[in-house]
Homo-oligomer: A and B are copies of this chain.
Amino acid sequence: MKEQLGVLLATVEKELLNVGFDQAPTSLYKPAEYLLNIGGKRLRPIVTLLGCGVFTNPLKAMPQALAVEVFHNFTLMHDDIMDDAPLRRGQETVHEKWNLNTAILSGDAMLVKSYQLLAQCEATILPELLSVFSETALQVCEGQQHDMDFETRSEVTEAEYIGMIQQKTSVLLGCAIKMGALVGGASADDAAKLYQFGLLLGTSFQIKDDLLDCFGDPEKVGKQVGGDIVSNKKTLLLIQALKTAKGDDAATLNAWINKKQFDPKEKVDAVKATYRNLEIEDFANTKMNFYFKRALKNLDDVSATPEQKKTLYAFADWLMKRDS
């Protein structure tokens, strides 16, 4: 499995160099090329190729895989402006390295480019590809808006949080695999099941991300853990803690959330101590597994042989067992 993924990944990396950002005006396209080439796990394009690979040669869906990755990087470029983020993958963000206007306009061009890439398909499936892609793109915008709106709200429910991460992250995984499946010749029914598989896998993936940010091994995650705690980000962990904390735990949590001046390490340690009292890690792991199992159930129901689906099973397993 790892070998096959390695081959697909290498092909994606190579093709990303040829999507057409190496042209004039360089002030418009160079930032897109830069952001695409400072790394990333390339999960989304891999998922598109694997979705296609259930039914035929995975590389047939390469344009759509690239479309999804270019789209994802467009959202990163604009989100980084909105979050005022100085770094992305350890490198300067585009609005820092260039300027605000460049990051806006170059991002816009990337969004258009993603449509050009996805349109490279047989005409018969274009309407459906376009439909799922545009609907997904709007949901991603809505998810980002909800994420920003949540920052200024005092209370967010678990259901609202799950809805937000599904819009902001998971629907794109659903869209990615569905587009691959459609290019591969999947029936509408199988394409819909694979969409659900991607959506639910993406949901458990995001909960895993929240867990790693809090409980991960800093050396393996590649960054200091506890960033979400420091910034009071309303993750599933904090939402559940605030919901269940009583007495001392509630007092500790609220005190740290409202403190303006603090030592970050001290805050992380204190909040994590209440998380341990409240068994938040177990809670989040249970939720993660709930979505993961529902994801696998949808994959089970896709009308293809176990042999055809085995790379997707292995990929899902690897994704959930990761420690970075």
Interface of A toward B, CB cutoff 8 Å: 25, 27-28, 78, 81-82, 100-101, 104-105, 107-109, 111-113, 115-116, 119, 123-124, 126-127, 130-131, 134-135, 137-138, 141-142, 144-146, 148-149
Given the complex of chains A and B, what is the CA–CA distance between A136 and B109 in angstroms? 11
Residues on the B chain within 8 Å of A109, using CB: 138, 141-142
A130 touches B115 (CB 8 A): yes
Q: How many copies of the polypeptide does the oligomer hold?
A: 2
Among residues of B, the one whose C-beta sits closest to the C-beta of A167 is B25
Task: Given the known inter-chain contacts A112-B138, A119-B130, A126-B130, please indicate yes or no for A105 contacting B146, CB distance below 8 A.
Answer: no
A117 to chain B, nearest CB (A): 10
Residues on the B chain within 8 Å of A145, using CB: 25, 27-28, 105
B149 touches A134 (CB 8 A): no
A25 touches B142 (CB 8 A): yes
Given the complex of chains A and B, what is the CA–CA distance between A112 and B142 in angstroms? 12
B113 touches A111 (CB 8 A): no
A287 to chain B, nearest CB (A): 24
Given the complex of chains A and B, what is the CA–CA distance between A104 and B127 in angstroms? 27
Residues on the B chain within 8 Å of A111, using CB: 108, 111-112
A93 to chain B, nearest CB (A): 14
CB-contact partner of A127 in B126, B141, B142, under 8 A: B126
